[in-house]
Amino acid sequence: MWTAITREVSPALGACELSYIPREPIDVPLARAQHHAYQQTLLNLDCQLLCLPAEPELADSVFIEDVAIVLDEIAILTRPGAASRRPEVASVAQALRHYRPLHAMEAPATLDGGDVLRVGRTLYVGESARSNAAGIAQLRELLAAHGYVVEGVVTRGCLHLKSAVTALAEDSLLLQPAWVDRHRFEQFRIIEVDPAEPHAANVLRVGDRLIMPASFPRTRQRLLDAGFKVTAVDVSELQKAEGAVTCCSLVFQVD
Question: Pairing between strand 189-192 and 172-175?
Answer: parallel
Where along the chain do its domains lie? 2-253
- In DSSP notation, 90-112 reads HHHHHHHTTTS-EEE--TT----
Q: Is residue 158 a contact partner of residue 202, using CB atoms and an 8 Å limit?
A: no
Q: Which residues pair with 169 in a beta bridge?
A: 172
- DSSP secondary structure code for residue 211 in this structure: E
At the fourth CATH level, the homologous superfamily of domain 2-253 is L-arginine/glycine Amidinotransferase; Chain A (3.75.10.10)
Please identify which of the residues 16, 160, 199, 248 carries the catalytic annotation: 160
Dihedral in degrees, nearest 10, Cα atoms 112, 234, 91, 140: -20
What are the beta bridge partners of residue 127?
154
> Nearest-CA neighbor of 63 among 135, 147, 136, 162?
162
Q: What is the DSSP string of 138-172?
A: HHHHHHGGGT-EEEEEEB-SSSSHHHHEEEEETTE
Instruction: Tell me what pLDDT residue 101 has.
Output: 98
Residue from 255, 241, 252 nearest 24 by CA: 241
Residue 248 annotated as catalytic? no
Longest Cα–Cα distance in the chain: 46
**Residue 141, amino acid:** E
d(CA 39, CA 233): 10
User: What is the rounded average pLDDT for all residues in the chain?
Assistant: 98
pLDDT 10s digits, 80-136:
999 999 999 999 999 999 999 999 999 999 999 999 999 999 999 999 999 999 999
Catalytic: which of 16, 47, 158, 247?
Answer: 247
pLDDT on residue 255: 82
CA-based end-to-end distance of the chain: 6
∠ at Cα 87 (103, 9), nearest 5°?
110
Which residues of the chain are modeled with pLDDT < 50?
none
Segment 16-34, tens digit of pLDDT: 999 999 999 999 999 999 9
Interatomic CA distance for residues 163 and 174, integer angstroms? 10
Q: Is 160 a catalytic residue?
A: yes
